[in-house]
Amino acid sequence: MSAPRVGIIGIGQSEFRSRRDDSSYPDLVREAVAKAMTEAQLDFDDIEAIVYSLSPDAMVGIGNAERLGVDAVGGRGKRFLRINTGGATGISSVAAAYYHVAAGACDVVMTAGADKVGECGDSQTVLNKIWDPQYERPLPLGTITMLAMSGIRYAEKYGMTQEDMAQVVVKNRKHASLNPHAHLRKEVTVDEVMASRMISWPIKLMDCCPQSSGGGAMILASERYIKENRLDAVWITGVGHCSETYYIGDRMGNGYMADHADAFALKRSFERAYKMAGITDPRKQVDVAELYAPFSNTEYHAIEAAGLAGLGEAVAQVNEGRFSIGGEIPVNPSGGVLCTNAIAVTAMIRVAEVALQVSGRAGGHQVKGAKLGIASGNGGDHQFFGTMVVEA
């Protein structure tokens, strides 16, 4: 069966900050929803179903916090469900909304959510509880240490240095300085990154994403609805998901399927999205990419998993400026996850930013002439990966 076309007709995102003491959790969802509804020029009656985007409950400190968000998204009496694939939640939610329309269940669907990571005093404690209680949780694992260990393996395999990691930060902070929604917007130098304090070798403070508060919302519609109502839209043409083993120690040793250095399932997920979108040569066909990379080192394997560079080639190409705004395929022109991370919606913002780029509405960080963009999200312990292709 060929895939029905599904369009993006509304986008709303907060200006992300460390704390939003002026807004409760549902107020923050509402803020993004209101923006998306205004942009799409719709009434709540037009929204037929809701996909609620929310990663671990413990991060907002409310069990099944999506229930508290029902009114914020105008969900009463409507079809409503929540998606969670950890850090990939946002893109998985857009995908779930896509399936609502592609299934023929509805014409107009909204996905929305928010996070207040700044209010969780123990985010690495919460994130330690993602591991199995038998074997891996007793270790002092968190998302930072988990991805530091990926960086160690990547460096060993391909020769990445800490200065190379800093180059990603310099690039993304520069991009973020052009994006009013980004949380960390101050430009930095390689020296400043290198001088920032060591958190988890080889990751230093400035190699890390911030803890952000803010919301995101997107409205998707069927091709028929978009044409009948003469709406502006960009189109989701490829969707993919793929997963890896739960156990980090299984991504090394002998005979493994995925190397913890790389992003095996992200690559597989992109292969699925590309196949669906008919993309055969991403290096030539992709104009812009928003790739989920919460720590500087992980942008390298994400670029390679997306097929934008060969294995081990991303480092040199970032250094050459190939993935900067003005370069051949800008990666994370918004500043990316490295500059803004409100976990529940982070991966949704990747899709939203790509949609803005291919519609020519990205503002100060617009990639000139972008017509086809890709987005990704990573969740769990580098385990669940979602990908999407968006076209003008």
350 closest CA partner among 302, 312, 309: 302
Whole-number minimum distance, CB 110 to other proteins, in Å?
13
- Could you say whether residue 44 binds other proteins (CB under 8 A)? no
**Subset of 221-280 contacting other proteins (CB under 8 A):** 239-250, 252-257, 260, 265, 268-269, 272, 276
- Could you say whether residue 67 binds other proteins (CB under 8 A)? yes
Output the CA–CA distances (angstroms, integers) from residue 150 to 29, 229, 290, 305, in the order listed. Answer: 33, 48, 20, 14
Whole-number minimum distance, CB 328 to other proteins, in Å?
30
- Could you say whether residue 153 binds other proteins (CB under 8 A)? yes
Instruction: State which residue, 104 or 326, has the beta carbon closest to other proteins.
Output: 104
Alpha carbons within 13 A on the beta-carbon side of 288: 33
- Could you say whether residue 322 binds other proteins (CB under 8 A)? no
- Could you say whether residue 166 binds other proteins (CB under 8 A)? no
Burial class of 203 by CB neighbour count within 10 A (0 to 12, 13 to 18, 19+): buried
Instruction: State which residue, 89 or 366, has the beta carbon closest to other proteins.
Output: 89
- Could you say whether residue 150 binds other proteins (CB under 8 A)? yes
Q: Which stretch binds other proteins (CB under 8 A): 19-27, 172-180, 185-193, 212-220?
A: 19-27
Q: Which residue, chain included where needed, has tokens 């393996």?
A: 153
Task: State how far the Cα of 287 lies from the Cα of 281, in Å rounded to an integer.
Answer: 12
Task: State how far the Cα of 100 lies from the Cα of 202, in Å rounded to an integer.
Answer: 42
- Tell me, rounded to whole angstroms, the distance of Cα 214 from its chain centroid: 14
Which listed residue (105, 189, 278, 320) binds other proteins by CB under 8 A?
A: 105
Q: Which stretch binds other proteins (CB under 8 A): 37-45, 140-148, 184-192, 352-360?
A: 140-148
Which listed residue (379, 389, 390, 391) binds other proteins by CB under 8 A?
A: 379
Instruction: State which residue, 246 or 313, has the beta carbon closest to other proteins.
Output: 246
165 closest CA partner among 178, 147, 183, 180: 147
Which listed residue (15, 18, 44, 122) binds other proteins by CB under 8 A?
A: 122
Contact at 8 Å (CB) between 218 and 42? no
Contact at 8 Å (CB) between 370 and 328? no
**Subset of 177-206 contacting other proteins (CB under 8 A):** 197-203
Whole-number minimum distance, CB 67 to other proteins, in Å?
5
